[in-house]
Amino acid sequence: MSRYTGPKVRLSRRLGVAIADLPKHNKSEFTAPGMHGARRGQRLSEYGVRLREKQRMKAHYSVLEKQFRRYMAMAKKAKGNTAITLKQLLETRLDNVVRRLGVVRSVWAARQLVAHGHVKVNGKKVDVASYQVQPNAVITFKEKTHKILRENMESIAGHQVPAWIEFNPAQLEARVVALPVPEQIPFEINANLIIEFYR
């Protein structure tokens, strides 16, 4: 499976937004990487603004272009608001749901946890990071991972689990109670610009 393996903070600096909930990504002022980074990105065309918004969303959820185009096609075919549907499809990926629980520090760590078979959905092992979690699905973790997950939770104390997920930290069990609405997604993005980009 192809994935981005380069420096992650460089992505945040290039895109001008924190793509992960980590201290090194949450700098108040980012300059673009490279010798002339401070001069870059001061003026963007309309195309550039839409491209950057698309790149930000891709980086936040750590999906590649081919995957992202597939999500766009699914959102366009679905009933309702395309922008909201796109956000919901990406937000309910299994690796992202695990990230939102606060048991790991980043989407990359969540993806590794899923890929190594430590996550169960409705009692069955799921090792596909892009698995779409449906409402009422119950997510649990293998017993042997509980100790390290609790240590992770202590290190990132204060993490807020979004309202569309019920989480029992004592049992390390979560249930998706509904599809997320835009106000419940802790990452500001203008999905309408992304839809315009693909027109």
The answer to whether residues 80 and 122 belong to one domain is: no
- The residues near 102 (Cβ < 8 Å, ≥ 6 apart) are 152, 153, 156, 159, 160, 161
CATH code of 123's domain: 3.10.290.10
The answer to whether residues 82 and 117 belong to one domain is: no
Name the amino acid, one letter, at 198.
Y
Distance CA 46, CA 165 (A): 36
Domain count, the chain: 2
The predicted model gives 80-94 an average pLDDT of: 95
CATH code of 46's domain: 1.10.1050.10
pTM of the model: 0.85
Over the stretch 148-188, which tens digit does the pLDDT of each residue have? 999 988 887 778 899 999 999 999 999 999 999 999 988 88
| Burial label, 112 (beta-carbon count in 10 A; 0-12, 13-18, 19+) | middle
Residue 88: pLDDT over 80? yes
Answer yes or no: are the C-beta atoms of 140 and 120 closer than 8 Å: yes
Q: What is the pLDDT of residue 157?
A: 75
Distance CA 154, CA 172 (A): 13
Q: What are phi and psi of 119, to 5 degrees?
A: -115, 135
- The residues near 34 (Cβ < 8 Å, ≥ 6 apart) are 40
Over the stretch 8-62, which tens digit does the pLDDT of each residue have? 777 767 777 777 766 656 655 555 555 545 555 567 899 999 999 999 899 889 9
Percent above pLDDT 90 for the chain: 63
Range(s) of the domain holding residue 12: 8-89+186-197
**1: confidence class by pLDDT, cuts 50, 70, 90:** very low
The predicted model gives 67-93 an average pLDDT of: 95
The answer to whether residues 132 and 62 belong to one domain is: no
Residue 98: pLDDT over 60? yes
Asked if residue 47 is part of any domain, the answer here is yes
Over the stretch 99-138, which tens digit does the pLDDT of each residue have? 999 999 889 999 999 999 999 999 999 999 999 999 999 9
Asked if residue 15 is part of any domain, the answer here is yes
